[in-house]
Each structure stands twice: as structure tokens, then as C-alpha cells.
Amino acid sequence: MRRNRVALGFLGLFVLIVAFVLAAPLWADHVAHTGPNDTHTLQKIEVDGEKRDVVAPTGQPIGPVWLGADGRFFLGADGRLGRDEMVRLMYGGRNSLFIGIVSALITTLLATVLGLLSGYYRGWTDTAISRAMDVVWAFPVLLLAIALGLVLAVGGLQIGPIHLSGGSIWIPILIIGIVYTPYMARPIRGEVLSLREKEFVEAAVAQGAGPLRIMFSELLPNLWSTIIVFFTLNIANNMLLESALSFLSVGVQPPDASWGTMIASAFNLITSAPLLTIIPGTMILLSVLALNVFGDGLRDALDPKSKVRFEAHSGLSAAEGSETAEVATP
């Protein structure tokens, strides 16, 4: 990995992006003096000594003032509501990254458990789990996510005693985490099918180890490199899907910001204030690019012989037992 300077460079870029979004409360409290959802439609600010409307009477929002107002409205206002674009970009990034990372964790957890069970037990267990994954996989990821998002946006989700309201950020997290599970479970299952035939597993069985011990103490450590690579690449896919869902109003609910909702709300201003769509779009681009390049580098470093990769195909299934996983982009 040390030799792969490009991958390390992009890791550094991603770390910078994370640091940028984590600094949101600092910027909001100490520089911009406003929250991400606070409106300033009628406010005037002093920019380089001149009083200017945050939102003009014609509805045109102020453009980037950079440091002309001591950091306030650094990137301008986000539209006719006069919200600080920079503050929303930072808080929006927190939401986008949080959703991307947590949903990737959910995908990883579900996919690892299902892949282990399916690959180890084989037989009816494998059949049942694989067919369930096939059903989920049969739906185009974006359409399935939209359908689930629409259904849950109004009434929310009730899981036993836990109720998630329609606007909860956990709804897009769960949706994204679940729809991508088959894309990770199948290759993990393939690796497990291969690993369970190895001598060390036979030895563990001979020593009287039970299935759970074999799966989690013998097989799982051998899967870590695969899991880590998938996890990293999955974050990128999840961020893209979150952006798409939020753009379509079934992800993060307004007025909360995410990079997807920022693009959606600025779409009507694309001719008069194009930066309002370009800036969050660029952040998505940089984050996804950084994760993808780093993930590729990580894969090369951890297991150069492995053919495991996330590639942008349109929903081709992984062959049974194959180590190659192909993932449809949203």
C-alpha cells in the first residue's frame, strides 16, 4: 500500500473531505453564525462595506461572497430561503457520509452473516438465502430503493417497538443497506464455499469445533481483506444511491441537507445560479472517486491475487462459487 501513492493520495483526499464535514458545527457557530436550516430571506449583509440583500426582491439569491462578509455566505445563499450554502454543504456532507458509511456497515454485516451461513451450510440454507438474494437482486437497485422510500416517506417504519418517522435519516440508511446486501453476500458466499474445503477447516471439525466457531473463528478471519475492500467500495456506491434518492425526494427529507437534496433544491436555479448544483455535485464526485481509487489500491495491497472487484455493470449476477462480483451502479 505504501507503494501505491495514488491510492494513498486519494485516501488523504477522503480524509480531508471527512475533516471538512466534521468541522460543520465549528464553521456554523464561529464563522457563519447560522444553522443549516435557518432562513435569511429578508436579511441584508455587509459585503466589503456594501449592504446587500441575501435574497433580492426578484428572488435571486446572493452568490459567493468568499471572505467579503467574514466568512458568512462564503459560497452564497442556497436559494430564495437564503440559507448559507457553505453551512449546508458541510452539514449535508455529514448526512451523505453518515448514510454512506452506516449503510455500508449494515450491508457488510448482513452480507457477511448471510454469506457465511449460505456458504458454510450449503443445501437448503444456501438455497433459501440465495433465492432471497436473487429476488432482491432482480430489482434494479434504484427503482427498488425509490419504491421503498416512497412507501416509507409518509408513514415511517415500525419494527417491533421501534418506530422510525418518515423523515428519519435511518430510513434511507436501512433501505440502502438492504438493497446492496446481495451484491456483497454473493461473492462472500463464493469465498466461503472455497475456504470450507481447506485443511484448516477440516482440522477444526476434527477438533470438535461447532459450526458457529468454524464460521466466525476460522473462516471469517480469512475473509477480512475481502470484506474491508468491499466495505470501502460500498461506501462510494451507497453515497451515489443516497444522492439519487435524496434528489428524487425519497432519501434525506427536506429541509435537512444532503448533497443530493442540495442538487435537487438548486435544480430550478440551474440557469441563474449554476454553482448551487455544481458544488455539491463536485463533492459527491470527489468523495466517490477518492473511495474508489483507495479501495482499488487497498484490494491490490491486501490480496493482489484476488479478482474481487466492484465494477460498473448493469446488474450481471456473479456465477455461483465465482470470486468475481459485479455490481450495478444506481
Partner 1 sequence: MVSAFGLSACGGGSGGGGKEGGTLTGSYASFPDYLDPALSYTAEGWTAMYDTYIPLLTYAHASGAAGSEVIPGLAKAMPKISDGGKTYTLFLRKGLEYSDGTPVKASDFTYAVERVFKLNSGGSPFYTAIVGAEKFAETKSGGIPGIETDDKSGEIVVHLVKPRGTFTNELGLMFVAPVPKSTPAKNMTADPPPATGPYEIVKSEPGRGWSYQRNPQWDKANSKLMPELPSGHVNKIEISVIRNDSTEVNEIERDKTDWMQSSPPADLYQKVKTKYEGSQFRVESTVSIYYFWMNMKRPPFDDLKVRQAVNYAVNTEALERIYAGSLQGAHQILPPGMPGQKDFNLYPYDMAKAKKLIAAANPSDRDITVWTDNESPNNEAGAYYQDVLTKLGFNAKFKEINADNYFTLIGNESTPDLDTGWFDWFEDYPHPNDYFQPLLAGESILPANNSNFSQTDIPALNEKIARLGEEQLGPEQEAEYAELDREYMEQAPWAPYGNNTTSTFVSSAIDLDQVIYNPTFGHDLTSFQFK
**Structural contact between residues 118 and 189, judged by C-beta atoms closer than 8 angstroms:** yes
Say whether residue 67 binds partner 1 (CB under 8 A). no
Beta bridge partners of 77: 84
The residue range among 1-9, 55-63, 192-200, 232-240 that interacts with partner 1, by the rule CB under 8 A, is 55-63
The residue range among 134-142, 191-199, 246-254, 306-314 that interacts with partner 1, by the rule CB under 8 A, is 246-254
d(CA 261, CA 229): 28
**Structural contact between residues 84 and 78, judged by C-beta atoms closer than 8 angstroms:** yes
Say whether residue 59 binds partner 1 (CB under 8 A). yes
The residue range among 39-47, 187-195, 209-217, 236-244 that interacts with partner 1, by the rule CB under 8 A, is 39-47
Beta bridge partners of 51: 46
Say whether residue 269 binds partner 1 (CB under 8 A). yes
Beta bridge partners of 328: 313
The residue range among 44-52, 270-278, 281-289, 299-307 that interacts with partner 1, by the rule CB under 8 A, is 270-278
**Structural contact between residues 41 and 82, judged by C-beta atoms closer than 8 angstroms:** yes
Say whether residue 158 binds partner 1 (CB under 8 A). no
d(CA 308, CA 317): 14
Binding mask 163-202 for partner 1 (x = CB under 8 A): --xxx-----------------------------------
Task: Identify each DSSP E strand in 225-319 by its residue range.
Answer: 312-313
Say whether residue 41 binds partner 1 (CB under 8 A). yes
Say whether residue 80 binds partner 1 (CB under 8 A). yes
Dihedral sign from CA coordinates of 295, 296, 302, 305: positive
Q: Which is nearer to partner 1, 70 or 256 (CB)?
A: 256
**Structural contact between residues 44 and 38, judged by C-beta atoms closer than 8 angstroms:** no
d(CA 196, CA 257): 46
Q: Which is nearer to partner 1, 32 or 223 (CB)?
A: 32
User: Nearest distance from residue 103's CB to partner 1, in Å?
Assistant: 22
Say whether residue 19 binds partner 1 (CB under 8 A). no
User: Nearest distance from residue 155's CB to partner 1, in Å?
Assistant: 7
**Structural contact between residues 32 and 84, judged by C-beta atoms closer than 8 angstroms:** yes
Say whether residue 44 binds partner 1 (CB under 8 A). no
